[in-house]
Structure 1
Amino acid sequence: MLPISLIILGGILLIAGITMLLKTPKAESLSQVINAVKADGILTPKEEKLIREVAQNEGKNADVTIAQIRKELEESEEESESELIDVNQKAGLDFEKFIVQKFDKKYFAIRNWAGDKFVEGRYADTTTQPDIQLSLKLRGDSFPFAVECKWRSEPKGDFIRFANDEQLERYKAFERQENYPVFIALGIGGKPSSPAELYILPIEELNKPVLHKAGMGKYRKKVDSDFFFDQESNTLR
């Protein structure tokens, strides 16, 4: 009976040992820890400590590894910011195209369509000018004016900000310098290529870069109608 008992006991111990082995978590490799950090998008103090421990166990340089991780995280963040900028630029360009199509090319000529390209603080003079400079061609005469395009998704509250103080002053200065009217085409809601609401704001009537929604009715224009420039009163509608 004793040998049988020993065999049974040995089998039980063997099964228990295998079970414990299976339940024992495997130590994470350095690559697994690094991938987890990248997925999270941030290197916390605890993660840095873990990386140092795992790197030491694997005989690797922890400082070099951490420096590389930080570099890759910074590059990833810059790419995300660039994507956000690209999205904003696309929205602006889509709305500008929407506005341009409101001017019948039979009567209106685009004299300048400004871009917003810059690098290290250097940019073209036209970057600070209104987006689109046009002329009404009528019976051999040309009547210039300019349009700055602004699209806002769904502003919250009772006020709508269409520019900042510096931009508004710049548009006013441009109007004085060029001696022709400047307007802000403001799209609200919908999509940049198809806004839910459309407003034409004469720069000369604006003292602040914000308007109360209750006072915007007189500037509203039908979204599906073309623009008309009255050269005698210098109004765009």
Structure 2
Amino acid sequence: MKEKNYSRLFYYVLKRLRNATLALFRELFKPLSFLKGEDFEKCVRTKVFTSDRYDLVMKTHDFHENKKDYVESSLYPDYLFRDKETGVEFFVEVKYREKLYQDKIHWCNPSQFKRYQKYSSETPTIIAIGFGGRPKNPNQIYLVPLENIKYNALFESFLKDYLWIGKRKNILDMVKDKVYN
């Protein structure tokens, strides 16, 4: 009887080792753009739409889940939040960009823009754009109601009115910005 228990235990140890190895390789070969996006999503959740003020109602699936079996709800914006004070629900689509392209921030492609507009007609949608710095701590964060956006590429002059003035960077983050930029 003991032998059977050891073989079962050994089987599950090997299974866990295999799963851990696969997870490591999946993470190592994940596209850089997805890593940056995940970092900025975490930044938005921990600094802007914090759990003390907003309930997380829905979050789209990650790269690996969609790679195996695409989940249609991943077409929705990244987050659906509920304001704890008012009960109002709203979407947030999160985009990080390191630099301008043709003097603009290209935050999505035209088909994504149309899709977000469709969702926005039913539920208010905010586009959170992180710009410059690092995805975990961008130089600027802009929060733009989708209804105010007419194009999938935006000039900084347009975005300045939507600059989020929240918690400022601490000294450690400023030093990291100097090192990584």
- TM-score, with structure 2 as normaliser: 0.70
8 Å CA contact 1:108–1:135 kept in 2: the answer is yes
Q: Are the aligned partners of 2:90 and 2:123 in contact in 1 as well (CA < 8 Å)?
A: yes
Report the residue type matching 1:187 in the other structure: G
Counterpart mapping for 1:1-237 below 5 A: 83=29, 85-101=30-46, 102-116=48-62, 117-119=65-67, 122-138=69-85, 142-176=87-121, 179-222=122-165, 224=167
Contact 2:82 2:89 (C-alpha < 8 Å) held by counterparts = yes
Inter-partner Cα distance in structure 2 for 1:119 and 1:191: 26
Write the distance in 2 (CA, Å) between the matches of 1:86 and 1:198. Answer: 23
Q: Secondary structure at the match of 1:123?
A: coil
Q: How far 1:108 moved relative to its partner?
A: 1.0
Alpha-carbon distance between aligned partners in 1 of 2:145 and 2:90, rounded to the nearest angstrom = 11
Q: CA deviation at 1:94?
A: 0.7
CA contact (8 A) 1:131 1:146 kept: yes
Structure 1: any 5+ residue segments left out of the alignment?
A: 1-78, 226-237
Please report how far the alpha carbon of residue 223 of structure 1 lies from its aligned counterpart in structure 2 after TM superposition. 5.2
Q: Distance in 1 between matches of 2:112 and 2:148?
A: 15
Q: Pick the structure with greater CA Rg.
A: 1
C-alpha distance in structure 1 between counterparts of 2:110 and 2:60, whole Å: 20
Which of the pair has the greater relative contact order for Cα pairs under 8 Å at 6+ separation?
Answer: 2
Seq. identity, %: 25
- Across the aligned residues of Structure 1 and Structure 2, the Cα RMSD in angstroms comes to 2.0
TM-score (norm 1): 0.54
Q: 1:111 deviation in Å?
A: 0.3
The alpha-carbon deviation at position 142 of structure 1 amounts to 1.4
**CA positional deviation for 1:222:** 2.1
**What SS class does the counterpart of residue 118 from structure 1 fall into?**
helix
Contact 1:196 1:223 in 2 (8 A): no
Structure 2 segments unaligned to the other structure (5+ residues):
1-24, 169-181
One-letter code aligned to 2:78: D
By how many angstroms is 1:128 displaced?
A: 0.4
